[in-house]
Structure 1
Amino acid sequence: MKKSLSILLIILSVFSLAMIPSIPDEGMYPLSEIRNLDLQGAGLKISIDEVYNPDGISLIDALVKLGGCTGSFVSNEGLIITNHHCSFGAVQKASTTENNYLENGFLAKTMEEEIPAKGYTCRITVSYEDVSDEVLTAANNADDISGRTDAIADKIKELVEREEEADSTISAEVSEMFVGQSYVLFRYKVMKDVRLVYVPPRAIGEFGGESDNWVWPRHTGDFSFVRAYVAPDGSSAEYSEENVPYQPKKFIEVNPNGVDENDFVFLLGYPGRTYKHQPSYFIEYQQKYQLPYISKQFKWMIDLYEEKGKDDPEFALKISSRIKGLANTEKNYRGKLQGLERLNLIENKKDEEKELQNFIDWDAALKEKYGNVLSEIESVYDEIFSVGRYRWVNFMLGRYCNLIRLAEIQLEYHDEETTDDKRKSLLKRVSSLQNDYYPNLEPAILNKILSDATAFPELQQFSEFSDLPDEEELYELIYELYDDTDLFDAEDFEEMLSESYEDLDDPAIEF
């Protein structure tokens, strides 16, 4: 039993479909391509229709998307198995310093003892369709790379709106399976009542901590159980005692016999993405700018939060989910940097590109059509390199400085017409940002981001960074900004929404 359970957990922890026969032949494939693969020849003992059948019931009906994770139904009463780290946020929200489920684990011995997984939804695939032709047709009408990117985004938005208007009971999403190449439309049924059933103690679910994270083999009990509920009539509903367990079309059974060496294994899950086909310039940008910058910023923030949590157990519990997310990315990026340097991947990619250019030049027809492709790609990346860390500095400001986000919401609200529904949604976002504000930490984060940015040569071309004062004056300016702003006050914020754009005089908006 233990052996087969570990295999099920591997299935749940991968966001792709891969096939691994006795001599590994790995790859990531959208389900639309599954019939083009020789899975039976590789060792699959069930039919393709049993794996994915859009006209019937198949294994795909047992899969769920839980937040950003994959889960699987393992009973006919809505029980779902997923990773421990996928339930981490819900367990943290349900915990208190007196009743710390995160550290001690949680077990509901009956359905009545199950507790809400706050903020979690469960999405089940209703149908699945390759929309690459529609997306790329729109993209191919663009005049340049920027226009192409905008055209893809606009078409994806159009497809999602079209599907959700046609059927109000579903949620639509277009996933970019291969960047700029393959796009798949998913239609989901969304269940809003998800409850915690079992979560192991942190010492088991996170055994090895970040030292073992992204390292294999791992020896950790990275699993948990939740349950999906619906209204008595089967429709999606918010948490209610009247709700009943969802009955899936299909659920997965654990094989008590486990597996043997060289058994065929395939993995099903919700889509990730691959960067294998990206050019050398993409990897060079990652290695030079994105990976080192983000990993260093995240490490600094982790240290800041952990230092604050040493003497404040309540804060340590509240911030634990954020620390886990930061640490997961920091370790991933740090490992990628080491791997890129060890493998000399940039030079290897450049060698491949030289071979590709030679292949194109060898054929007159290919040369006429594709002869300038690589040089055009290089020109695009010349522009990207010219602004260096600009995108990622703004990412940090927008993601981790709630003051900046609140100011942007005010400007966004005053810049366009807003319906009652949009205003309601906007105020919900505002409330979340205001409640997630740490006045003794956020000013330090903003100061760190801006202070670092002033030292990056490529950012001196932008006045928002070149015009910043020196380090000491910047520090004083930022702390005055937080002292004087009214954006964190719910009543004041809503009152500002009623003012004209010209009358907005909050220092954070002016900043």
Structure 2
Amino acid sequence: MKFLKLFLLLFVVQFHAQQGGMWVPSLLKGMNENEMKALGSKLTAEQIYSINKSSLKDAVPQFDGGCTAEMISSKGLLLTNHHCGYDNIQSHSTVEHDYLADGFWAYKMEDELPNPGVVVTFIVSIDDVTTTILAGTESLSEADKQKKIQQNIAEISKTYKKEAWQDILVRTFFDGNQYLLFVTENFKDVRLVGAPPSSIGKFGSDTDNWVWPRHTGDFSLFRVYADKNNRPAEYSKDNVPYTPKHFFPVSAKGVKENDFTMVLGYPGRTTEYLPSYAVEQIAYDLNPARIEVRDAALKVQDGFMRKDQAIKIQYASKYASIANAWKKWIGERKGLIKSNAVGVKQKFEKDLSDKIVKAGKQAEYGNLLSDFAKNYAEIKDYAIARDYYSEVVLRHTEILNFGYRLFQLEQVYTARGEQAFNDRKKNLIEGFEPLYKDFNAQVDEKVFEKLIDIYSKKSPQQFLPESLKGINATQVSADIFKSSKLTSYNGLKELLTGDAKTVIEKLNQDKGFAFVKMIAEAYNKNVAPKYDEINLRNIATQRTYMKAILELSPKSARIFPDANSTLRVTYGKVKGYKPSDAVVYTPFTYLDGVMEKYVPGDYEFDVPKKLIDLYNAKDYGKYADNGKMPVAFIATNHTTGGNSGSPALDAEGNLIGLNFDRVWEGTMSDVYYSPDICRNIMVDSRYILFIIDKFAGAKNLIDEMKIIYNQPKTSKKVKK
């Protein structure tokens, strides 16, 4: 009987451990630690997160605000995704020295390339400061409550004890029911060490993005530098390689199905506890609008990039960024519909309503769902208009984005006077220079034409300025790009020459600026105030809804906070999946698959000659698996944007892979995680080592790492 109870306990723990979750590393003791051990982990919670000793979290910094990275040597060597380092690889590239096409490798430290503005952030400690942050907010209105919270955050950020070189970051959890404070160290001398050519690091490009099977060597290498005291410092030739508190041994032993996997990283944003009304709006209203705009922008840019190598370099990073979310939203929408996420949410809401009644909490929580229903019905058109405005004006039509920044400059003058205007103007002139470096007026004119046509026809008509309705987008586009000075950096500087009054007059005479101002003023008058008002109500309702979930759920419930770009731990197993009827995906891919997809000269599926030669010779060094070269694998870890570059670790904390994507059918995991089809994609550490060693010949980097190889089997001696 005891054995049966133990078996059932382990079965339940293992089952629930597959249900996703992004856990705060300082809070792993108890349920999470037990789950990980049941799945095969040999690590303790203290080994993952410790303040007093080096631990795994000390080897996992955030990379440049939007990705994750990991330390893989005692000399500051850092590993992240190729697409996370893409902007920096591009910035060092020219037509003559195209590191995107050819790759880059520093065979000695003095050849490493500095990257101004790139920041690598380490977590020193995590502290719960909920009581302090919520002090004095009990009886305030929602707007005043938010102001008081920001005041409390500002105060604790100034007074919390830390070292002079450290920083403070306060983030909200569980929709404002908890606040954690992070002490961080920000390193600003980060140098490019190595990157494979895009034909490896971006193999499959946008066609393969978000899908499985995947054959992408999505990695790049940087080095973190510090001052002579091993503390953060701005770039200097006198800086030395940073010595991390912990770095990961790199495993060349390989993985097999059902092996334990753990991913640490900085997932950006999830909304796992949204009500059904919000999920329905995302699937059927908001995502279709975003997808349509980005689809149009991508088609225009792709047409130009395929014909002109210089334009391809200019727009490579922008195109990749647009395409990434575009394809993700398509998969997310399909996944939400296929998994019946709305129905699942409705059942959860019914169960919660029953718990509210049973607990006698109707006065506190009884109106939550009716409030949600009312708010989401009311906000619908405003939310759609907001997304069209954001996608068209602020993001994907560059001349409109430039003009909007100048519109903000005019607002600064109106609100704060000439001195503030001059300060902002100076910063704008400096900030615009790199933007124009990657701007092509011919490309943007066609993007403008397509997107303004969509905006004028599809954005809710009641909010648009009258002069925008029924416009001839082709004619308006040609007219603006023919006359506006916003189409060149020199023209922009000419507009911004003079005192505030002169500049404002010149701006308002420019057709490009006037067009943006017309749209922005209509949006600011007709959409933004009402959207913000309803959204503020939703924020308050969501916080109370989350409070009800936390209060009325059993202690055994697996309730994790939504992602908010803070350090998290997720764990699971290497596992395939079944995306549709009669289709089953196994969890591993190999170099054979690269060759099967190979299309000579194609910008997505070309393969370097040297890689072909290594494949034909089966020259895989120490990294082969039964004569085959592993490339990527999938597992049940719950990841999202921001987890790009996250370390995938084995049961002992060794690096077995590098997280870089999710499967298309499971991208709805930001809203609703399904253990049946949600999988994260990782490039195998053996493929990374193979490319560095055999393809690039960067023995200096191989020698720098601590690599764990399979021990050769030895036959036992037979006693005579």
Q: TM-score, normalised by structure 2?
A: 0.61
What letter corresponds to residue 274 of structure 1 in structure 2? T
CA distance, structure 1, for counterparts of residue 405 and residue 485 of structure 2: 10
Aligned to 2:88: 90
1:384: Cα distance to partner? 1.5
2:305/2:311 contact within 8 Å kept: yes
Alignment of 1:368-379 (within 5 A): 368-379=363-374
Q: 1:218 to 1:39 in 2, by over 3 A?
A: farther
Deviation string for 1:210-260 (max 9, x for gaps)?
A: 333223453322222111123345444443333221111221112344455
Is the deviation greater in 88-97 or in 212-221?
212-221
Q: 1:273 to 1:131 in 2, by over 3 A?
A: farther
Q: 1:168 to 1:358 in 2, by over 3 A?
A: same
Aligned to 1:456: 458
Deviation string for 1:288-347 (max 9, x for gaps)?
A: 222111122112111111111222211101211111111111111110111112122212
CA distance, structure 1, for counterparts of residue 95 and residue 219 of structure 2: 23
1:79: Cα distance to partner? 0.2
1:132: Cα distance to partner? 4.2
CA distance, structure 2, for counterparts of residue 82 and residue 215 of structure 1: 20
Alignment of 1:202-281 (within 5 A): 202-259=198-255, 262-281=258-277
Deviation string for 1:30-76 (max 9, x for gaps)?
A: 12322243415434323322211123321111111112111111111
2:351 is paired with a residue whose SS is helix
Aligned to 2:446: 444
Aligned to 1:471: 471
1:123 aligns with 2:118: no
From 285, 289, 292, the counterpart of 1:296: 292
**Unaligned runs of at least 5 residues, structure 2:** 1-12, 519-720
CA distance, structure 2, for counterparts of residue 69 and residue 20 of structure 1: 29
CA distance, structure 1, for counterparts of residue 497 and residue 103 of structure 2: 44
1:21/1:264 contact within 8 Å kept: no
1:194/1:227 contact within 8 Å kept: yes
Aligned to 1:405: 404
1:352: Cα distance to partner? 2.3
2:409/2:424 contact within 8 Å kept: no
- Aligned-residue Cα RMSD (Å) equals 3.3
Q: 1:94 to 1:288 in 2, by over 3 A?
A: same
1:283: Cα distance to partner? 0.8
CA distance, structure 2, for counterparts of residue 490 and residue 444 of structure 1: 20
Aligned to 1:347: 343
1:120: Cα distance to partner? 2.2
Aligned to 1:52: 49
Percent identity reads: 29
Structure number with greater CO (CA < 8 Å, separation at least 6) is 2
What letter corresponds to residue 288 of structure 1 in structure 2? Y
Aligned to 2:104: 106
Q: 1:310 to 1:38 in 2, by over 3 A?
A: closer
From 373, 382, 388, the counterpart of 1:387: 382
1:460: Cα distance to partner? 2.1
Aligned to 1:313: 309
Q: TM-score, normalised by structure 1?
A: 0.84
Larger radius of gyration: 2
CA distance, structure 1, for counterparts of residue 152 and residue 407 of structure 2: 24
2:457/2:469 contact within 8 Å kept: no
Q: 1:477 to 1:263 in 2, by over 3 A?
A: closer
1:268: Cα distance to partner? 1.3
CA distance, structure 2, for counterparts of residue 310 and residue 239 of structure 1: 37
2:79 is paired with a residue whose SS is strand
CA distance, structure 2, for counterparts of residue 22 and residue 373 of structure 1: 28
CA distance, structure 1, for counterparts of residue 428 and residue 158 of structure 2: 23
**Unaligned runs of at least 5 residues, structure 1:** 1-18
CA distance, structure 2, for counterparts of residue 451 and residue 250 of structure 1: 53
CA distance, structure 1, for counterparts of residue 106 and residue 134 of structure 2: 49
1:207 is paired with a residue whose SS is coil
Is the deviation greater in 79-88 or in 403-412?
403-412
CA distance, structure 2, for counterparts of residue 381 and residue 411 of structure 1: 34
Deviation string for 1:58-98 (max 9, x for gaps)?
A: 11111111121111111111100111211122111212222
1:290/1:389 contact within 8 Å kept: yes
Q: 1:49 to 1:352 in 2, by over 3 A?
A: closer
2:303 is paired with a residue whose SS is helix
**Count of residues in correspondence between the two structures:** 487
1:25: Cα distance to partner? 5.1
Alignment of 1:399-438 (within 5 A): 399-400=395-396, 401-414=400-413, 415-416=415-416, 424-438=426-440
CA distance, structure 2, for counterparts of residue 502 and residue 298 of structure 1: 32
